[in-house]
Amino acid sequence: MLTKRIIPCLDIKDGRTVKGTNFVSLKDAGDPVELARLYSEQGADELVFLDITATHDRRKTFAELVEKIAREISIPFTVGGGISTVEDVQVLLKAGADKVSVNTAAVKEPELIRTLAEKFGSQCIVLAIDANLVNSEWKVFTTGGRHATDINLFDWAKQGEALGAGEILFTAMTRDGTKDGFDLEANKRLSESLRIPIIASGGAGNMNHFTEVFQQANVDAALAASVFHYGAIGIQELKKELQRQKINVRI
């Protein structure tokens, strides 16, 4: 049985870690290099770094910051934000990223997923999908959750898999920062309809929420930010609780 992964996320704005609610009202959450080192030491399975304003600000992810973080950690490292070309990926992999996350650019040009997967391997390409409920239907949003599309979440996830994405990172915008728990229904539907791993994001508020999303939605990984940044949940304590709940994790 594959182990379930716990993934802290560093949302980066202007070189600092930030966290908001429903993608707005951002507050400072600390130095990303220090947080990355701490999570690596605490036993996180992977780390995700998302430069959340890179696309909106029309600039590239801070490669220098990626390099600083990569030097401090010993776990797989996924980087996203403003990635739209093969060259962007090459820069980030050279800086120390293990995987890259694409979002807005892939929605605008889906063939980008195939291009990157063929060049770097599917295991390197994470399709990040931010989605919100619009008239009771999950719709994809781009540009850090600022722009609505008419694209259905589940259709887009299937297309991303077919084009070569190695994982789906699904953030339920309705749950982001609320601490009300992951959206179990949407995550379950994704995990049942796709063959590639699903990373659930948005809504973690307590340890039981992690148990629920693994047991009821059968996702492969759970990602969270504020509960880790502000010390509400310790990663080792969380893993021990998951182990008590008969969920296979790496201690």
The reported pTM is: 0.92
The reply to whether 11 belongs to the active site is yes
The reply to whether 57 belongs to the active site is no
Q: What is the largest CA-CA distance in the chain?
A: 46
pLDDT band at 24 (very low <50, low <70, confident <90, very high): very low
The catalytic residue among 11, 45, 51, 183 is 11
Q: Which domains are present in the chain?
A: 5-244 (3.20.20.70)
Give me the pLDDT at residue 52, please.
Answer: 62
Mean pLDDT lowest among 55-69, 132-146, 186-200: 55-69
Give the separation between CA 167 and CA 9, rounded to whole angstroms.
16
CA dihedral of residues 176, 106, 165, 207 (deg, nearest 10): -10
The catalytic residue among 45, 88, 130, 183 is 130
pLDDT in tens, 166-199: 999 999 999 988 899 999 999 999 999 999 999 9
β-strand partners of 170: 129, 200
pLDDT in tens, 219-248: 999 999 889 988 899 999 999 999 999 999
